[in-house]
């Protein structure tokens, strides 16, 4: 799977803005536990909070749902730290992903960092946006959560496609972690190939009940001050220049 360069990241951000009206977005992040058989001599290393053995598929998708992945973390690792310990997370934090640093929201003079969108399982940072906690939210926070959720739809749909198209995910993968990791990587490459060359699967957002992979556990993690400032600025944008006429009918 090719590694994005800065030009590719900028193209992804443009597509997210066109399709989801979410500015400066470099991708949607999510993670799943993939069930595997008990690894040899592993103790509880791969035993997760759902009480089965797993590896973790950590994925970033572009606006059309194509994957950039990091897979193979031990399922027994605390989900709250999966991203920071992953190859993807380490490269992001050390500026080794060739991502553009800051940009102007199209049509405005508002300058913000380029960012990824995620859910509550991930930390709020300058370049990772997550929703506000769902507790009696003010309208502007509800709108931010809604807009972020729309942008995250790309990764949710992609996991739905994986479930429908690759039946090996309907059961435990009876392989050791390294072989299971290679199988999952191959599935994501095939997913990207099919997505480019064939039309989407109907009802692709629906996850079959028999699916064996599980969401990452949601954790309360310390938000950075910069992350809170960027989220506040994005929230203000969605209430002003970035407001869309139909969102008030959704809430």
Instruction: Dump pLDDT digits (tens) for 200-233.
Output: 655 555 555 555 667 787 666 678 899 999 999 9
The per-residue pLDDT for 251 is 64
Average pLDDT over residues 228-243: 95
Rounded distance between C-alpha atoms, residue 195 and residue 55, angstroms: 24
Rounded distance between C-alpha atoms, residue 51 and residue 65, angstroms: 30
**Which residue shows structure tokens 């969108």?**
117
Does the global pTM surpass 0.85?
yes
The per-residue pLDDT for 75 is 75
**pLDDT tens, 84-97?**
888 888 888 888 88
Rounded distance between C-alpha atoms, residue 27 and residue 15, angstroms: 10
**pLDDT tens, 40-79?**
988 888 888 888 999 988 889 999 999 988 776 787 766 5
Q: What are the boundaries of each domain within the chain?
A: 6-234
Name beta bridge partners: 116.
27, 128
For every residue of 7-35, DSSP letters joined together read HHHHHHHHHHHHHH--TTEEEEEEEEEEE
The per-residue pLDDT for 70 is 79
Name beta bridge partners: 111.
104
Name beta bridge partners: 25.
115
Rounded distance between C-alpha atoms, residue 152 and residue 60, angstroms: 10
The per-residue pLDDT for 173 is 93
Three-state DSSP at 52 gives coil
The per-residue pLDDT for 84 is 80
The per-residue pLDDT for 141 is 94
The per-residue pLDDT for 137 is 87
**Residue 36 per-residue DSSP state:** B
The per-residue pLDDT for 1 is 72
Give the range among 98-112, 113-127, 156-170, 183-197 with minimum mean pLDDT: 156-170
**pLDDT tens, 136-166?**
789 999 999 999 999 999 999 999 888 888 8
**Which residue shows structure tokens 């597509």?**
15
């Amino acid at each position: 799977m090719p590694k994005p360069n800065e030009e590719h990241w900028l193209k992804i951000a443009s597509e997210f803005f066109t399709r989801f009206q979410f500015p400066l977005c470099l991708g949607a992040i999510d993670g799943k536990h993939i069930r595997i058989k008990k690894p040899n001599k592993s103790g509880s290393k791969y035993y997760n909070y759902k009480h089965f053995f797993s590896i973790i598929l950590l994925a970033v998708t572009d606006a059309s749902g194509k994957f950039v992945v990091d897979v193979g973390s031990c399922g027994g690792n605390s989900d709250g730290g999966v991203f920071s310990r992953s190859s993807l997370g380490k490269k992001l934090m050390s500026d080794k992903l060739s991502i553009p640093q800051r940009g102007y929201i199209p049509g405005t003079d508002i300058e913000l960092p380029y960012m990824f969108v995620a859910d509550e399982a991930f930390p709020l940072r300058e370049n990772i946006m997550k929703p506000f906690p769902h507790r009696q939210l003010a309208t502007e926070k509800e709108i931010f959560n809604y807009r972020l959720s729309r942008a995250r739809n790309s990764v949710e749909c992609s996991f739905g496609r994986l479930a429908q198209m690759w039946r090996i995910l309907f059961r435990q993968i009876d392989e050791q972690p390294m072989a299971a990791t290679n199988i999952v990587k191959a599935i994501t490459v095939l997913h990207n190939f099919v997505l480019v060359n064939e039309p989407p699967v109907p009802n692709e957002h629906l996850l079959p009940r028999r699916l064996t992979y599980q969401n990452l556990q949601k954790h309360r993690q310390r938000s950075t001050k910069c992350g809170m400032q960027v989220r506040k600025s994005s929230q203000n944008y969605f209430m002003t220049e970035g407001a869309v006429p139909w969102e008030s009918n959704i809430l």
